[in-house]
């Protein structure tokens, strides 16, 4: 049996992080935006409506996600800018990260970040 080893990552992303660089004269923190990942391969999937509840007509949707390689340096609060066909064209903020583990291998194989407009 053949095993699929390739990954489908048609997009790329720049990952930016806001880091504290010091304090002002009155003690307020000073921040700088730092590029932590440039043109990281990824897969962007926009927000989708999964189904509509019959009883109330409420729409249940899945959030927009960006799937990265397991080695990507990404944390909650980072800003992601996606490039490629179907990209949103505006920066997205990372709300949460799901580390997908391959149970057979016992290691993280990809990172799925939930995102929204920054």
Structural domain including 34 reads 11-117
Answer whether residue 58 is part of any domain.
Answer: yes
pLDDT in tens, 53-63: 778 778 778 89
pLDDT in tens, 20-73: 999 999 999 999 999 999 999 999 999 887 777 778 778 778 899 999 999 999
Give the number of domains in the chain: 1
CATH number at residue 84: 2.40.10
Q: How confident is the model at residue 6 (pLDDT cuts 50, 70, 90)?
A: low
Task: Write the CB contacts of 15 (distance below 8 Å, at least 6 apart in sequence).
Answer: 35, 36, 37, 38, 40, 72, 73, 74, 78, 79, 80
Answer whether residue 103 is part of any domain.
Answer: yes
- How does the average pLDDT of the chain come out, rounded? 89
Answer whether residue 5 is part of any domain.
Answer: no
Answer whether residue 95 is part of any domain.
Answer: yes
pTM of the model: 0.81
Answer whether residue 48 is part of any domain.
Answer: yes
Q: Which residue has the tokens 């927000």?
A: 47
Answer whether residue 26 is part of any domain.
Answer: yes
């Amino acid at each position: 049996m053949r095993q699929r080893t390739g990954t489908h990552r048609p997009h790329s992303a720049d990952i930016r992080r806001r880091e504290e660089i010091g304090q002002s004269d009155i003690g307020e923190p000073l921040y700088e935006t730092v590029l932590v990942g440039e043109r990281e391969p990824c897969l962007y999937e926009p927000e989708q409506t999964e189904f509509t509840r019959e009883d109330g007509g409420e729409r249940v949707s899945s959030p927009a996600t960006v799937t990265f390689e397991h080695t990507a340096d990404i944390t909650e609060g980072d800003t992601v800018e996606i490039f490629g066909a179907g990209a949103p064209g505006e920066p997205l903020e990372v709300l949460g990260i799901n580390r997908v583990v391959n149970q057979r291998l016992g290691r993280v194989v990809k990172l799925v970040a939930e995102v929204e407009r920054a």
